[in-house]
């Protein structure tokens, strides 16, 4: 039996969590009906939690994190996939409850896979990854609720992060004016290169306003931050506009009033990428493959090795990782 390399997280006797790169045997893989030779995985905020034991996401150890991956089917007990097929996996709690993509091999349910979208390489698909798929799901939800480029600027919070970077590039490519909120000094040139029309300092939205309604500024918003920032921007939306709530990088509370809902008819749209039905995922990937400019994807992506991940996990939790990090697994 061939062994393969994996990044394995262990819980120590003192309760701390550490990771190391180890050789595993194929019979150690969990139950599943498709074995995938993983080319690339990525680093997402949730991976940071799984690598450090945060958020209570990982229940059993030893554990292989990596909430997404792209690769080639090695063997399949399911008629939908054959050896040689290129596939992508995001969500379904893979990398949290199930072993994930930080390994040369993964064994998963066929239901969790989607075929690699036409026009994307496995590396490009992971440049997008969970973060980018989520950005696209947010844009689809906003457009289904009436957003179009002629309505006015769209606010993206946590803009230099993974979701924020892909959202900025996707929106700009579609003709939207993007207002990018960032707390990161020196990131103006990066965000403008992705297509942001203007930069909003994080400090402008960091605290809740005394007034529940402020001037109507945004035709839509993709919020990766939550907390006071989400509460604040609700009061700045144009009449009838929608906010896609994606993330919690700034907190889980929502210290808001109901006034923007009642007086301006705004909508708060919850975005979940994890349990999203397959048909919706495929539609989102198709839009990504056609809309996302590949030069912008290169601008926001850097490729690292499995060995680099232990250090990057804590960094993404501190908001110190810019754009998308692709992990070359083999």
β-sheet bridge partners, residue 114: 88
Distance, CA of 299 to CA of 165 (rounded, Å): 10
Given candidates 28, 44, 242, 301, which one binds ligand NDP under the rule CB under 6 A? 44
Distance, CA of 163 to CA of 149 (rounded, Å): 20
Q: Which residues of 192-201 are buried (b: 16+ CB within 10 A; e: fewer)?
A: bebbbbebbe
Residue span binding ligand NDP (CB under 6 A) among the ranges 5-13, 214-222, 268-276, 282-290: 268-276
| Minimum gap (Å) between residue 276 Cβ and ligand NDP | 8
Given candidates 271, 312, 327, 329, which one binds ligand NDP under the rule CB under 6 A? 271
| Minimum gap (Å) between residue 214 Cβ and ligand NDP | 19
Given candidates 76, 242, 273, 301, which one binds ligand NDP under the rule CB under 6 A? 273
Distance, CA of 70 to CA of 285 (rounded, Å): 13
Q: Is 232 in the site for ligand NDP (CB under 6 A)?
A: no
Distance of CA 91 to the CA centre of its chain: 10
Distance, CA of 304 to CA of 21 (rounded, Å): 14
Of the pair 73, 159, the CB lying nearest ligand NDP is at: 159
DSSP alpha helices (H): ranges in 235-300? 259-264, 278-291, 294-300
Triad 56, 246, 187: Cα angle to 5°: 105
Q: Is 42 in the site for ligand NDP (CB under 6 A)?
A: no
Of the pair 260, 319, the CB lying nearest ligand NDP is at: 319
Q: Is 202 in the site for ligand NDP (CB under 6 A)?
A: yes
**Residue number with the shortest CB distance to ligand NDP?**
161
Q: Is 316 in the site for ligand NDP (CB under 6 A)?
A: yes
| Minimum gap (Å) between residue 7 Cβ and ligand NDP | 18
Q: Is 95 in the site for ligand NDP (CB under 6 A)?
A: no
Residue given tokens 């309604």 in the structure block? 213
Distance, CA of 106 to CA of 92 (rounded, Å): 14
Distance, CA of 254 to CA of 229 (rounded, Å): 9
Q: Is 301 in the site for ligand NDP (CB under 6 A)?
A: no
Q: Is 100 in the site for ligand NDP (CB under 6 A)?
A: no
What x-and-dash track marks residues 132-171 binding ligand NDP by CB under 6 A?
--x-----------------------xxxxxxx-------
Q: Tell me whether strands 68-76 and 34-43 are parallel, antiparallel or unpaired.
A: antiparallel
H/E stretch holding 5: strand 3-11
Which residues contact ligand NDP (rule: CB under 6 A)?
A: 44-46, 130-131, 134, 158-164, 182-184, 202, 224-225, 229, 246-250, 271-274, 316, 319, 321
């Amino acid at each position: 039996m061939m062994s393969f390399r994996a990044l394995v997280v262990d819980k120590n006797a003192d309760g701390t969590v550490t990771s190391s790169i180890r050789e595993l045997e194929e019979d150690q893989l969990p139950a599943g009906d498709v074995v995938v030779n993983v080319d690339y995985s990525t680093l997402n905020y949730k991976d940071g939690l799984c690598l450090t034991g945060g958020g209570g996401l990982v229940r059993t150890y030893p554990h292989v994190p990596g909430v997404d991956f792209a690769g080639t089917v090695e063997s399949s007990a399911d008629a939908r996939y054959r050896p040689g097929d290129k596939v992508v996996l995001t969500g379904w709690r893979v990398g949290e409850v199930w072993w994930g993509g930080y390994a040369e091999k993964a064994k998963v349910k066929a239901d969790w896979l989607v075929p690699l979208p036409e026009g994307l390489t496995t590396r490009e698909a992971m440049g997008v990854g969970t973060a980018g798929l989520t950005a696209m799901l947010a844009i689809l939800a906003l457009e289904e609720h009436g957003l179009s480029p002629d309505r006015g600027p769209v606010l993206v919070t946590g803009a230099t992060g993974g979701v924020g970077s892909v959202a900025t590039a996707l929106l700009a490519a579609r003709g939207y004016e993007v207002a990018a909120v960032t707390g990161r000094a020196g990131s103006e040139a990066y965000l403008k290169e992705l297509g942001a029309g203007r930069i909003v300092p994080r400090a402008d939205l960091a605290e809740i306003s005394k007034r529940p309604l402020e001037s109507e500024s945004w035709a839509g918003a993709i919020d990766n931050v939550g907390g006071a920032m989400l509460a604040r921007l609700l009061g700045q939306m144009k009449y009838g506009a929608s906010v896609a709530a994606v993330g919690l990088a700034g907190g889980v509370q929502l210290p808001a009033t109901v006034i923007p809902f009642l007086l301006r008819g705004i909508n708060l749209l919850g975005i979940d990428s994890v349990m999203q039905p397959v048909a919706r995922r495929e539609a989102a990937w198709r839009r990504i493959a056609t809309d996302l400019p590949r030069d912008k994807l290169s601008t926001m992506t850097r490729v690292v090795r499995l060995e680099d991940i232990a250090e990057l996990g804590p960094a993404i939790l501190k908001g110190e990782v810019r754009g998308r990090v692709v992990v070359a697994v083999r």
